Structure 1
Amino acid sequence: MASLSPPRRAFWGDVRFLVGIVLVALSISGVWLIVSTSDHAIPALQAARTITQGEVLTSDDFQVVDVGLGSLADDYLGPDDLHAGSVAARTLESGELVPESALTDADRSRSTTVVLQSSTGIPEGVKAGTVVEVWQAPPLDEGRSYDVPRILVADVIVHDVLDAEGVLADTGTQLEVVIDRADVADVLAAITGGAALSVVPVGSGS
């Protein structure tokens, strides 16, 4: 009587076993990576409010949070990296981690702030950090009429709306804006010359 040999195990069964081992190994590696990253969290500065370009900064403008930045740790500022006289090189949104490139020394800052009055009120949504264009209509006939409006300064950052309740008032609304120092003379000339100034948000179809 011929003996029956045991049936051979299908090859695909072995493959499934190997795939299962690989998936378990990947899962364990993922958990280890998460734990390892959390263990290497470091303190970093986070903007406590919207900070506009050109602002002189103090520790009150930030809060300290522990984050795992990995290889990017050197690109962001910690609580010991904020020095007296630092200013914002660009606008920082509230809650944003502070990269090293977002701060500069006051001596290197090319911007300053100027207060101007918009004769047409402020469009809805304009607030600190909004990028706007400043338009001017030069006076004619000793101020009895005005010339065709034209752009005075483009890509200006609003630092503060000083009279948010006066949007519909005839006197307009005052804003403090951040401008390049090279544009200060033109802006002051328009203000002292009696030009009618208007603010238009960038991208509003002006």
Structure 2
Amino acid sequence: MTALSRSPRRFRGDLRFVVGIALVLASIAGVWSLVTASDHSSPVLQARTTVVRGEVLRAADFEEVDVSLGPLTDEYLAPSQLVPGQIAARTLTEGELVPRSAATSAEDGRTTTVVIKSSVRIPEDVQAGTEVEVWQAPLGEDGRTFEDPRILVGDVVVRTVLEPDGLLAEGAAELEIVIDRGNVADVLAAVTGGAALSVVPVGAGS
């Protein structure tokens, strides 16, 4: 009696079926891995309000949020990494996730704050966190007129706007500004010398 043998065609059909099942299982595993990875979230800090460069970072200024950032997670500040005494290395806007590079120690900070009085009403878009230039018109030798305006210091951030109430509201306003310590002497000299000061938002048209 002749022995029965499996048909080559039947064998190829079975092999294609097995390969097809393997591809389906691999596709399901890949999708599952992608979903699992995207669902992985980590706690980071988000600014509740605008935090100006040089300002001390306080826990009350931030909230903890869980976000999925993948490999970028380590670039943002986790709640456990907020150390007392740290300051903002740059201005953080409300709602912004806090990069680790935006926090530095007070010893490494080179900024301080100074209060100046603007001789004219400040633009409406100048507020806490706004980057501005401080201009001065030095008092003339006659003590009554002023020289042509010039930039006193750039790279300045407004910390607080202290606008007066009442009749003076249309005129002068005081601002607390964050400046490099190396520029403090020039600013104070302009203030004590009677120069007329004003602030211009960075990027404003001339």
Q: Report the Cα offset of residue 54 of structure 1.
A: 0.2
Q: Distance in 2 between matches of 1:55 and 1:68?
A: 28
2:19 corresponds to which residue?
none
Unaligned runs of 5+ in 1: 1-21
1:203 corresponds to which residue?
203
1:78 corresponds to which residue?
78
Counterparts in 2 of 1:161 and 1:42: CA distance versus 1, 3 Å? same
1:34 corresponds to which residue?
35
Q: Report the Cα offset of residue 68 of structure 1.
A: 1.2
Q: TM-score, normalised by structure 1?
A: 0.81
| 1:65-144 pair list within 5 angstroms | 65-144=65-144
Q: TM-score, normalised by structure 2?
A: 0.81
1:54 corresponds to which residue?
54
Q: Distance in 2 between matches of 1:165 and 1:132?
A: 23
Counterparts in 2 of 1:194 and 1:70: CA distance versus 1, 3 Å? same
Counterpart secondary structure, 1:140: coil
Q: Distance in 1 between matches of 2:63 and 2:78?
A: 10
Q: Percent identity?
A: 55
Q: Distance in 2 between matches of 1:23 and 1:201?
A: 59
Quick check: which has more Rg, 1 or 2? 2
After TM superposition, the runs of 4+ consecutive aligned structure 1 residues lying more than 3 A away are: 22-32, 164-168
Counterpart secondary structure, 1:91: coil
Unaligned runs of 5+ in 2: 1-22
Q: Distance in 2 between matches of 1:71 and 1:165?
A: 50
Q: Distance in 1 between matches of 2:83 and 2:127?
A: 28
1:169 corresponds to which residue?
170
Q: Report the Cα offset of residue 124 of structure 1.
A: 1.6
Amino acid paired to 2:139: P
1:158 corresponds to which residue?
158
Q: How many residue pairs end up in the alignment?
A: 184
Counterpart secondary structure, 1:101: helix
Amino acid paired to 2:129: G
User: 2:139·2:147 contact (CA, 8 Å) conserved in 1?
Assistant: yes
Amino acid paired to 1:111: T
The alignment's C-alpha RMSD in Å is: 2.4
Q: Report the Cα offset of residue 57 of structure 1.
A: 1.3
